Chains A and B, each alone.
Chain A
Amino acid sequence: KQEVTQIPAALSVPEGENLVLNCSFTDSAIYNLQWFRQDPGKGLTSLLLIQSSQREQTSGRLNASLDKSSGRSTLYIAASQPGDSATYLCAVFTGNQFYFGTGTSLTVIP
C-alpha cells in the first residue's frame, strides 16, 4: 500500500527566506504527484501537478521537483511571504486513487 510522508510537520521562517518542503512515497509506480495548499477552515487548492515523466514544474515563486525512482518530491518556495502561511500537502496518484501526506504547516513571520 502506498504511504506518503511529509517532513517537517511544521516549519516557521522569517519573511523573505527560501524554503524547501519534502514529500516521500513508498511505491514509485505513480502517474503523477500534486502539491496542494490548505488554508484553515478551507478546502485544498492545487498548486502544481508533476506527471511521472516530468522532473519539475514551476509556477511563480513555486518550484516542485520529482524523483520517482527514489520516491521523493520537493516543493521550493522562493522569497517567502506571510501570505504563504498555510498547510502544504502532497498527493500521489496511482492510476485509480490519490494518497495524501499529512502535510507541512508553514508559518512565515513578518
Chain B
Amino acid sequence: EAGVAQSPRYKIIEKRQSVAFWCNPISGHATLYWYQQILGQGPKLLIQFQNNGVVDDSQLPKDRFSAERLKGVDSTLKIQPAKLEDSAVYLCASSLTPLAGGTNIQYFGAGTRLSVL
C-alpha cells in the first residue's frame, strides 16, 4: 500500500516570497490534514478536509495561508507571502474517517521542510 506522498521534501525561500506544497493521501482516505511542526514542538493542525470540504481551519493564518483539495484527493497548501516564523516542517496526513467510532489512525507523509530566510 502506497503511503502519503508529499513534495517537495525541502524548500528554501526568502521572506515575502510565495511557496506551495503538495500532498497525495492514501487511496480511499476521505480525511486529509495539514500540520505545521516548528522545531522542538509537536505538530499543530492547520486545516482538515473531509473529501473536498473544510472541516476545521480555525488555526490556519488565513491572511497568508490557503489550502484546497480539489476533487477530494490531492491537496495543496500555499503560503503567500512567507514570513521568517513560517520556517517549519509541513506535514500532511490522511485517515479513513475522523469519526470517533471509526479507525482514525492517521498516516503521515515525510513532510516538507521549509526554511524562510
Contact = CB atoms under 8 A, between A and B. Distances in A.
Interface of A: 4, 31-32, 34, 36, 41-46, 49, 52, 89, 91, 93, 95-98, 100-103
Interface stretch (B12-20, B37-45, B69-77, B80-88): B37-45
B98 A43 contact: no
B106 A98 contact: yes
A32 B43 CA distance: 17
Contacts of B43: 44, 89, 100
Interface in B8-32: none
Contact of A31 (B56, B100, B105): B100
26 contacts: A31-B100, A34-B105, A42-B111, A43-B6, A43-B91, A43-B93, A43-B108, A43-B110, A44-B43, A44-B106, A44-B108, A45-B108, A46-B105, A89-B42, A89-B43, A91-B42, A93-B104, A95-B100, A96-B56, A97-B45, A98-B33, A98-B45, A98-B106, A101-B42, A102-B41, A102-B42
Contacts of B93: 43-44
Contacts of B48: 97
Given A32-B104, A43-B4, A46-B106, 9 more contacts: A42-B110, A43-B108, A43-B111, A44-B91, A93-B104, A95-B100, A97-B45, A98-B33, A102-B40
